[in-house]
Amino acid sequence: MQTSHYTIITGVSKGIGLATAQLLNEKGYTVAGWGRNAPAYTHPNFHFFSCDVSKLEQVNAAMEQTRKKLGEAVFGLINNAGFGHFGKLEDLPIEKWHAMFDTNVHGLMYCSRAVVPLLKAQQAGHIINISSIAGLNGIVQGSGYSATKFAVRGISHSLYAELREDGIKVSCVYPGSVATNFFDEVEGVTTNPNMLQPQDVALLLLQLLESSPNFLTVDVEIRPLQPKGKKS
Ligand SMILES: NC(=O)c1ccc[n+]([C@@H]2O[C@H](COP(=O)([O-])OP(=O)(O)OC[C@H]3O[C@@H](n4cnc5c(N)ncnc54)[C@H](OP(=O)(O)O)[C@@H]3O)[C@@H](O)[C@H]2O)c1
């Protein structure tokens, strides 16, 4: 990745998205942050564009505004925006099921569709999709969330095969629990220091973006080492 290029990150108000924007800026890269809410963060190379990724017209407008401000030289797209609603299948309100798919799956697809033509024109670029270990294994009371993250895996693997010959990388990352606001609405789970830290996930994403042009990492599963803390 060259510093003359920029990276789009979705969901930059907090958590993994914000930590990644900050790290990329620190390393001299330009970031276009797309999100419903702007972060309380400013940097000369951080540009916020208001965008609910679940709305196709807002994604297309964000792409247009980003091109006007930053030009065509996009290198990275980190599809990070997402959330989970949890509950038993028969109890989870249908609107919550749909809302997760609208953002986690359809939003990711809208953003990728907006960016792929620019990457193809350059015959270079990197799309990184944030799935979850819930995209590898089912979880109790997480059927809807898990289904969206399995879908992210399916899109990622298909797109990787589709774009490989165009010199465009697609990677899928499967984090275990990360200490972010993700858990604010998850009953019975509070964040703790044994979870993965968003800054460490950001470092992984930077390393993926900086990998050699002919080096593609398809899947990365990441977990905390001692999730229950050190043995006493
Ligand atoms: N934390 C974990 O344990 C964990 C584990 C595996 C995977 N993940 C995945 O990691 C990603 C980031 O989550 P996080 O842990 O950083 O959680 P977070 O702190 O809650 O951040 C989520 C971000 O996504 C944004 N977002 C949600 N819906 C959006 C939409 N429709 N349009 C634009 N932005 C939207 C939120 O913005 P608003 O300010 O608008 O809400 C926020 O900036 C998610 O895809 C999540 O599923 C998280």
In a domain, 136, yes or no: yes
Question: How many structural domains are present in the chain?
Answer: 1
34-61: per-residue pLDDT in tens? Answer: 999 999 999 999 999 999 999 999 999 9
The more confidently predicted of residues 232 and 74 is: 74
| Cβ atoms within 10 Å, residue 64 | 12
Asked if the structure places residue 232 within a domain, the reply is no
Q: How confident is the model at residue 187 (pLDDT cuts 50, 70, 90)?
A: confident
The number of residues making up the chain comes to 232
What is the CATH classification number for the domain harbouring 151? Answer: 3.40.50.720
- Assess if residue 120 is contained within a domain: yes
Least confident of 30-39, 78-87, 188-197: 188-197
pLDDT score at 159: 98
For residue 175, tell me if it sits in a domain.
Answer: yes
Where would I find the H helices in the chain?
15-26, 56-70, 94-100, 108-122, 143-163, 198-209
Give residue for tokens 């809807």: 144
Ligand 1 center to 17 CA (angstroms): 7
Residue 232 has pLDDT above 90, yes or no: no
Atom of ligand 1 nearest to the CA of 13: 43
pLDDT (average), residues 2-8: 95
Q: What's the pLDDT band for 92 if we cut at 50, 70, 90?
A: very high
Each residue's pLDDT tens digit, 137-185: 999 999 999 999 999 999 999 999 999 999 999 999 999 999 999 999 8
User: Is residue 168, in this structure, part of any structural domain at all?
Assistant: yes
Q: What is the pLDDT of residue 168?
A: 98
- C-alpha 11 – ligand 1 centre gap (Å): 6
Position 230 confidence tier, pLDDT thresholds 50, 70, 90: confident
Q: CB of 81 closer than 6 A to ligand 1?
A: yes
Position 144 scores a pLDDT of: 98
Q: Is 135 in the pocket of ligand 1 (CB under 6 A)?
A: no
Q: Evaluate: CB of 86 within 6 angstroms of ligand 1.
A: no
The pLDDT of residue 138 is 98
In a domain, 230, yes or no: no
Q: Which two three-digit tokens encode residue 171?
A: 């990677």
Cα-Cα-Cα-Cα torsion 2, 3, 8, 13, nearest 10 degrees, comes to 140
| Angle (deg, nearest 10), helices 108-122 and 56-70 | 30
Q: For residues 232 and 230, what is the distance between their CA atoms, to the nearest angstrom?
A: 6
Q: With respect to residue 196, please indicate whether it lies within any of the assigned structural domains.
A: yes
* pTM: predicted TM-score of the whole model, two decimal places: 0.98
Mean pLDDT of 94-101: 98
Q: Is the pLDDT of residue 188 over 90?
A: no
Of 140, 156, 144, 124, nearest to 188 by C-alpha is 140
Q: What is the pLDDT of residue 186?
A: 86
Q: What's residue 135's pLDDT?
A: 98
Ligand 1 pocket, 15 CB below 6 A? Answer: yes
Average pLDDT, the chain: 97
Task: Mark whether 145 is an active-site residue.
Answer: yes
> Does any domain span residue 231?
no
Residue 189 scores a pLDDT above 80: yes
The counts of H helices and E strands in the chain are 6, 7
Structural domain for 19, as ranges: 6-222
